[in-house]
A and B are shown apart, each in its own frame.
Chain A
Amino acid sequence: MTYKERLNGRKFDEMRPIEAKVGVIPRADGSAMFKIGNTWAYAAVYGPRNLHPKFLQDPQKGILRCNYNMMPFSSSGERVRPGGSRRSKEISLVTEKALLPVLNLEEYPNSVVDVFIELPQTEAGSRCAGICAASMALADAGLEMKDLVCAVSFGKVADKLLVDLDYSEESYKDGPVADVPIAMLPNSGKITLLQMDGEVKKEELMKLLKMGKKACMDIYEIQKKALKEKYHEVEL
């Protein structure tokens, strides 16, 4: 059983087309849009700001709070009921863990940095798109960061390892499929999000992580370019 050519015509190490923009929500302290293929994410950062209720406050450092949400019309099937699901809660949690290592919140005791991720349109890879948008929004908010966070999903379809699965590949029927969303810190190569469902051999997974570096560096360049486009140099 072999997956000779990708159903979408892409090369095995080719991502869908990416668009990124920073500063798209004027009322937020930082914001960004990240689009990969048909998956489209907005992120807004508010804070550091006062944290209520008070018992959640940490006198040692500020806390990060992320919320991932699909808009009701963002799924290609039936309407998504608003109000969050177990799935969206879990994604919010892993998003928080993916972003936290790059932040330094010690200077903001008793405060919160809120990250709201909204998806107007999805077709696979939405948690990764959300993380990419959120990391740009955090940078746009002017928070001290050790690195950006770049995320994309990898996987195995039948016998091939590949990057950025889309819906047709996630639901591939003629062979085993593994979906491995990863978030990476481009400058240190450290991994802050790793999930997997499907079946894959350990050696293959290690190969995927290596493949991941290149794709994440490509995303990193796109994120940096988008940030620089907002903060262009001023000639004096």
Chain B
Amino acid sequence: MKATKRKRANLHNKTIDTVEFRVASDPKLLKIIRAGITHLCELIGFTPQQSQQTTLAVDEACSNIIKYAYGGATDKPIIVTARLIQNGIEIILRDFGKKAVPAEIKSRDLDDLRPGGLGVHLIRSTMDVVSYDTSRKRGNELRLAKFSAAPAAAANSDQTPVVPASS
């Protein structure tokens, strides 16, 4: 009994599995990433809504990479690394394109009805952690996380919560 408890304790908040998607920045490949993320979310017991929200956020982040970091080029690398953690999922999105300017990354005013500009808002409103790493020599790294339960304790991040290039 004690051994079982210890094993469970050791698993707590540790990475238990990692899946990596390496795809070209081609919009027609977004569906593959969405399918993979959705399946992973189902594996860890997310509700359908949690799975849909996580998939939406990753899709929007990939779209932003294609549109802004790579300027629409379809042959550049995107690496999506999903880590299944004990209480949810962490997803790192890496690109090697134009660096985003954190000060310019913001949600737009939703009262301003116009096409576009909703991607950042959707990412922020669906994920528990959205943080952007500007220290990379090339490109950008976005960290997203979503937790199956209340994120208050688990969502603490030592990085400033920001998001990638606005859409």
State whether these chains interact: no
Which A residues lie at the B interface, using CB under 8 A?
none
